[in-house]
Amino acid sequence: MNTLFRPLVWATLAASLMIPALPALAAPPPLEPRSEGFTRIHFGFKGGLSLAQHQGTEPRDLEYTVSSTMRQGFGGGAFLILPVTERFGIQQEVLYVQKGSRQTIGAEVLTIPVSMDVTYDMDYIEIPVLLRYHWLTTSKISLYSLAGFAFGLKVDDRYTLDAVLDDGVDQVPIHADSDMSEVDIFDFVFSYGLGLEFAVGSNWLLLEYRFDLSLEALPMPTYAYVPFGDEEILVENDPVPLRNQAHLLMIGLRF
């Protein structure tokens, strides 16, 4: 089994085993804003699949072309909900989210056109603060939406590049493999999504879709090393300005 899907599979199996084990209690209101005069804080855990990509480039007089595909990774963590009413609340989270993309960049290296296969891997600790509203509520099911902003801190990254420089006579491999310390470690994100909750005893099993979009473009590296005799020449190209974006599909449990 692909290791990418193991967290989602295990979470699903754990939830399915938990359902018959929990007592058949009456489901509470979706957010239960008060309990004996005090505000009740809900908490929970969730995790699943992150489908990340980079969005957009600024025109640079056709200096390069970019074709982007998704990076598949993990997204998940813990959350707290502070109810305001039975339908509306404020949700704060701490998530680990794997972002990045796979790029095919067409550019000129030493005046020779070349197509470069590039990977950007960027892992973040994100702290979203979201507004949560329940649109449809029954004793067994609840449909809610989320919207707000998140602060992201980059905790791991990797940049790789592979290409072949062909001048019609020789074929020279070019490459790069390094961290991205030159890229800002902070990211600011607009986030929104929908979720569906199912009553499981006195708790709620949730399925959630989220979309994250960075508010600012980050300068992604495109430099490469070209062999020249016993040495390597660093060929520097202008960074590609790209925004992080990710689709998150998660399963979790709220208490």
d(CA 222, CA 218): 13
When divided into structural domains, the chain yields a total of 1
In terms of pTM, does the model score above 0.75? yes
- Rounded to a whole number of angstroms, the CA Rg of the chain reads 23
CATH of the domain at 97: 2.40.128
Q: What is the pLDDT of residue 227?
A: 84
How many CB atoms within 10 Å of residue 138?
10
d(CA 246, CA 136): 26
| C-alpha distances out from residue 160 to 17, 98, 104, 114, 221, Å | 42, 16, 12, 16, 10
Cα within 13 Å of Cα(28), Cβ side = 16
- Which residue, 54, 103, 94, 58, is CA-closest to 76? 94
pLDDT in tens, the chain (255 residues): 444 444 444 444 444 443 343 333 344 567 765 555 556 899 999 999 999 999 875 555 556 777 889 999 999 999 999 999 889 999 999 999 999 999 888 877 667 788 889 999 999 999 999 999 999 988 899 999 999 999 999 999 999 999 987 877 888 888 999 999 999 999 999 999 999 999 998 899 999 999 999 999 999 898 888 887 778 888 887 788 899 999 999 999 999
Q: What is the pLDDT of residue 34?
A: 54
b/e burial code for range 51-74 (CB count within 10 A of at least 16 → b): bbbbeebeeeeeebebebebbebb
Cα within 13 Å of Cα(223), Cβ side = 13
Q: Which helix (H) or strand (E) holds 10?
A: helix 6-21
CA angle (17 as vertex; 248, 204 as ends), nearest 5: 55
Phi first, then psi, for residue 183 (nearest 5°) are -90, 135
The three-class DSSP label of residue 16 is helix
Q: What is the pLDDT of residue 105?
A: 81
Which amino acid is it at 46?
K
Domain of residue 154: give its range.
3-254
The answer to whether residues 57 and 66 touch, using CB atoms and an 8 Å cutoff, is yes
Q: What is the pLDDT of residue 209?
A: 98
d(CA 73, CA 98): 5
| C-alpha distances out from residue 224 to 88, 96, 101, 174, Å | 51, 30, 18, 6
